[in-house]
Each structure stands twice: as structure tokens, then as C-alpha cells.
Amino acid sequence: MDKAQKDRRERYQQMVREATPQPNRWRNAVMAFITGGAICTVGQLLYNLFEKVEPSRLETTAVTQAAMIALGAIATGLGFYDWLAERGGMGAAVPVTGFSNTVASAAMEFRREGYILGMGAKMFVIAGPVLVYGIISGFAVSLLRAVLTGSLF
Amino acid sequence: MSKRLGLQTIVFQQAPRIASCSTIAGPKEGEGNFGSYIDKLVDDPMMGQLTPEKAERMMLYLACQDALAKAALTEDDVHFFVGGDLLNQIISSSYCARDLGIPFLGIYGACSSIVEGLGLGSLIVDGDYADSVLVATSSHYQASERQFRYPVELNIQHRKSNQWTVTGAAAAVLSKSGTGPKITAATFGRVLDYGIKSPNDMGAAMAPAAADTLCRHFADTGKTPGDYDLILTGDLAAVGQKLFVQLVKEAGYTLGSKHMDVGASMYKPTQQVGAGGSGCACSAIGILGYVVKEMLQGNLRRVLAMATGALFSPVSTQQGDSIAGIAHAVVIEA
């Protein structure tokens, strides 16, 4: 690429930056806070409910997680979750319901190519990287902790 | 008189007629600004089919059948079917061609396919290689979304520069004789790449190609914006059309109210679609729905119809390649 061509490209990309409307970051942040907060409040309410039946903290946490994952998947199936995410942005994407949505939406989408090569193979097409890097970083942090404290638990 | 004019333009001596055309689209397009120009609106974008891919090819087939019926032709009277769409290996067009049984020339120009098709079809008719040519194209929101982007139900917050793929199809029969509008010239465009890498910014990737083809057309033919009632672009949408008008102005042409972008005008602001519509059916509905109908009513006399395409695939963008653009133009006269 010669210099004139490069200059033209750079000048055009500057034009594009000026022409592209910027997202309303304040509005998005407030909406994300409300949406994420609302989802977490539902989680907390469920936790308080489950705590009455199962006093063990570890068990209650696990059951609450499972319930939220189920809720996320159901909301996805009903076509509600993408509507929520369009408004709530990261507030809908970050909680575990958002993770559930990535799996459920991919499962719904690729079911048409069959249960094995479609749904089975592509269910984690979006969630896969979250799992891979979640496990790797979890392992790294645990290793660091073990080295620093001299204890595995 | 030479058939070629300047560097990129072809003038048709026996200008082919658009003998008939047909458009079909989904409910969202029906509620949009072009709803009244679309021949058949369906309530169910899935057309009762199990997959959006099957729904898309069904729409394409219905548009083709309707165009043939309006021209009072059967499949055997048509010598070529020129078609293209957005799906991998242009399956919508291929399966439609299988069902039609007309000799098929598959093309891929992304969203510019309709004008590429009209231009090629006109070459065939003008060259006396066929009496009639069927040109058709289609796109489908759900089918495109899963191929180019994400699952439909995924938690995505769309940007203001995002475009919405139009669900629909359009077909036209080009004939030597008849009474419809004439295609008098075509300017086939070059592929231009200004280094835009974001698939969320397709309008920006295509605008330089559209400006280039338009300026080439003016230079080749000696015409100016004043010679046309309307200069139509396919699916640059809000961001792309702003850049396009700016680039054309820098080249010395002021378009003003002569210019309209189908993508930017497809949906109403209340329909929440980011920068506007896109897809093969977007420009096709603009040209074969809006322009042809307005011409038949005598509201437009001479139109420069352009369609732009973003030439990329998810593989190329993930590998860091930039998105190239292309634009073709045809002159349609009443």
C-alpha cells in the first residue's frame, strides 16, 4: 500500500468516527445498573426463600444458582431475554442468567441442524470461551493462592 | 455507437424492459415506510417453514412465480435466471432455480446483487442471447443473523450503526419487448476497501464504493445529478449515507434532495432498528417496489439505481481482514 492510499484510508476512518453516533453511555450505565440490580434482587429473594428449607450456605447458593440459570433459559425461550438485554446491556449479560441465555439461545438457534451436530455441537459456541478462560483463570488464581498461603484450601 | 462509454459504463442499444416485477416481505417491512409498495406482505416471517433458510427460498420462489405470471410467461419462455442472495453458497437462489427449472446463473454481490443481476440480465437481453431473463434476490433477518452474527435470542445490545436485514424477496422479468420501464445503461463498480473492520459498520464500509461508482458514472456519461429525478442507493443506512454524500460532495457533486437511501428509509424511527435496513431484499424492494411503481404512475422519469454490497464473511473479519465494498448502478427510464 503506498502512502497516498494509506493517508486516504486514515482520513476516511476519521470521517467514519465523526459520522458514527456514539452510544449514550450514561443512560446505558444507569439501565445496566437497574437491570443487573433487579436480576440480583430476584436471586437474593430466591436465596432467602431457599435458606428457610436448606440452612447450609453452600447448598443454598448452589440451588439459587440453578434456579437463576433455569429462569434465564426460560426467559430466553419465551423471547424475553434479548428484549431485556437490548435495554439493560451488560446488566443482563453479566449475571448468571446472561450466561444461561448464551447457552439457551445457541441451543435454540442450532437445533435446526439436528440434536447432535447442531444443538449438541454448537450449544457452547458463545459460552465456550467463558468456560475455557473462566476455568483457566480460576486455576491460576487458586495456584497463586496456594503458593502464597502454603495451603490448598 | 459504441456500447461502452468511458471506463466502466455500458449503454444498452436495445434497452431491455422491466416487463414485470414482484416483491414480497415480512410484517416488519410491511409496517415500514415502503409497506404500500410491496406486492405481497406475509404475517409470518417463517412462512410456516421449520427454518428461516427454507422460508427465504420460499419467498424468493413466490416472487419469481408472481413476476412470471404478471408477464404472462412460463418457465420455458425465460432463457436465464440470474439470482443471488446472502446465504453461504447462495442456497436460496440455487434451490429456487432447482424448483423453477430455468438455466441458472448464480451471482454473489452481497446486497448489491439485485443491480448486478439487472445489469447482467440487461447485457444478456441486449446481446440477443435471450428474449427474457428472470432476475431475483432475497434476504431473511433470522437466516442472515445466525450466519453473519449471533443467535437471534442472544443478549446483545445493538449499536446505533447496526443495520437490520430485510426479510423479503424481489423478482423482475427483463424482456426485449413490452411496456415497462427501460434499463438504458449500467455502471459496474470496482471493489474498494478503506480499511473498515467492524461488521457493525457496514454502511461505512460500502460508502466509498458507492461514491466511486457514482462519480465514475457521471464521468463516463457526462451526466450530473440534475439529469436524474432520483439517485437511489441500496442499503448504506443512516451512517453510510452521511459518509456517501460527504464523499460525493468532495468529488464535486451535490446530490441534495435527489438522493435517497433505501436502507435509511426502510423502517420508521419507532421500529428501533439502529441505522436502518440492509440485505439483498432491501435494495431490491427499493428498486423493484418503490422506483418501478412510482415510474408506472408517472412520478419518476429517470432514476439512477445503485446497490451496494459489503464483501466479507465472518471468517475474514475474525481473521482481521477489513471489509471491502462494491456498488453497481443501472439507469432506469420510464
The domain in which residue A105 lies consists of: 23-123
* Closest-CA residue to A111 (of B50, B88, B334): B50
Q: For residue A91, is it within any domain?
A: yes
Mean pLDDT of all residues belonging to chain B: 94
**pLDDT digits over B177-202, tens only?**
888 999 999 999 999 999 999 888 89
Q: Can you give the pTM of this predicted structure?
A: 0.93
CB-closest option in A16, A79, A98 to B155: A98
**pLDDT digits over A85-119, tens only?**
999 999 999 999 999 999 999 999 999 999 999 99
Domain count within chain A: 1
Q: Which residue of A has its CA nearest to B159?
A: A23
DSSP B109: B
Question: Whose grid coordinates read 419469481?
Answer: B64
Q: For residue A149, is it within any domain?
A: no
Q: How confident is the model at residue B29 (pLDDT cuts 50, 70, 90)?
A: very high
Q: For residue A148, is it within any domain?
A: no
pLDDT at A1 over 80: no
CATH number of B16-175: 3.40.47.40
Q: Take residue A80 and report the three cell numbers written for it.
A: 424475553
Q: How confident is the model at residue A37 (pLDDT cuts 50, 70, 90)?
A: very high
**pLDDT digits over A46-79, tens only?**
999 999 988 888 999 999 999 999 999 999 999 9
**CB-based contact A105 B196, cutoff 8 Å:** no
* Closest-CA residue to B325 (of B201, B199, B198, B208): B208
The per-residue pLDDT for A17 is 92
Euclidean distance between CA atoms B6 and A98, whole angstroms: 56
DSSP B254: -
Task: Return the exposure string of B194-230: e unless at least 16 CB atoms fall within 10 Å of the residue's CB, then b.
Answer: bbbeebbbbbbbbbbbbbbbbbbbbbbbebebeebbb
**pLDDT digits over B144-178, tens only?**
998 988 888 888 888 888 899 999 999 999 999 88
**pLDDT digits over A107-151, tens only?**
999 999 999 999 999 999 999 999 999 999 999 999 999 999 987
CATH number of B182-333: 3.40.47.40
Q: For residue A152, is it within any domain?
A: no
> Ramachandran region of residue B320, left (φ > 0), alpha (ψ -120 to 50) or beta?
left
* Closest-CA residue to A32 (of A101, A96, A95, A90): A90
Q: How confident is the model at residue B117 (pLDDT cuts 50, 70, 90)?
A: very high
Task: Return the exposure string of A119-152: e unless at least 16 CB atoms fall within 10 Å of the residue's CB, then b.
Answer: beebbbbbbeeeeeeeeeeeeeeeeeeeeeeeee
End-to-end CA distance of chain B: 22
Q: For residue A151, is it within any domain?
A: no
pLDDT at B2 over 90: no
DSSP B262-291: HHHHHS-GGG--TTEEESHHHHHIIIIIII
Q: How confident is the model at residue B1 (pLDDT cuts 50, 70, 90)?
A: low
DSSP B232-247: EESS-HHHHHHHHHHH
Q: How confident is the model at residue B31 (pLDDT cuts 50, 70, 90)?
A: very high
ipTM above 0.90, yes or no: no
CA distance B13 to chain A (A): 38
The per-residue pLDDT for B272 is 81
B positions 246-265 inside 8 Å of A (CB): 246
CB-closest option in A9, A86, A108 to B157: A86
Q: How confident is the model at residue B236 (pLDDT cuts 50, 70, 90)?
A: very high
Helical H runs in chain B?
Answer: 27-31, 52-70, 91-100, 113-126, 141-148, 202-221, 237-250, 262-266, 280-284, 292-296, 314-318
Indicate which of A11, A12, A14, A100 best probes the interface with B, i.e. most B CBs within 10 Å of its own CB. Answer: A12
CA distance A148 to chain B (A): 39
The per-residue pLDDT for B191 is 97
Pinpoint the residues of chain B covered by CATH 3.40.47.40: 16-175, 182-333
pLDDT at B211 over 90: yes
Euclidean distance between CA atoms B266 and B164, whole angstroms: 10
The per-residue pLDDT for A153 is 66
Contact with chain B for residue A93, Cβ under 8 A: yes
A4-8, B172-176, B215-219, B260-264: range with lowest mean pLDDT = A4-8
